[in-house]
Each structure stands twice: as C-alpha cells, then as structure tokens.
C-alpha cells in the first residue's frame, strides 16, 4: 500500500518538476524564483547575433532563452 502511494507521489513530482524546484528554491532562499529582475549586461556582438537568431528560430524571447541556458548550465 505504501509502495503504491510512493509511486504516485514520485509521478506527481515528476510531472510538476518545475514547481517543485521553485518551492525548493523558496525553502532554501526565502525568495520566489519566478520574480523577474531587470539587469544590464555587456555581451560580445557575435553572442548577441547568435541569441537573436536562436530566438527567432524557436519563437522565444532572448530573455527566455538566457533563462533556460542559465538554468541548464549553471547548476
């Protein structure tokens, strides 16, 4: 019985991984991870061009792409 419930819990967590990670971040830091902050950065022109190109291909904003790159590469 407990084994069946645990599998259900694992399935629910897997389906909602983004939200469980957000809650985990909040538990560790006391800050909501979904809050956005505007910052100014200097990037090489070649990187800006690549970012613009990828943004157009994927139909996502450059900010969304940067968020994804940071989340996957800076853990």
**Integer Rg of the chain from CA:** 17
Q: Delimit the domains of the chain by residue range.
A: 1-35, 37-75
42: confidence class by pLDDT, cuts 50, 70, 90: very high
51: confidence class by pLDDT, cuts 50, 70, 90: very high
Averaged confidence pLDDT in the chain: 86
CB-based contact 16:23 (threshold 8 Å): no
1: confidence class by pLDDT, cuts 50, 70, 90: low
The answer to pTM > 0.85 is no
């Amino acid at each position: 019985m407990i084994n069946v419930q645990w599998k259900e819990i694992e399935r629910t967590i897997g389906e909602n991984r983004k939200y469980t990670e957000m809650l985990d971040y909040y538990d560790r830091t006391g800050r909501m991870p979904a809050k956005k902050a505007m910052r100014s950065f200097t990037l090489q022109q070649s990187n800006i061009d690549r970012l613009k190109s990828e943004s157009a291909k994927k139909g996502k904003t450059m900010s969304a792409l940067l968020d994804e790159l940071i989340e996957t590469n800076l853990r």
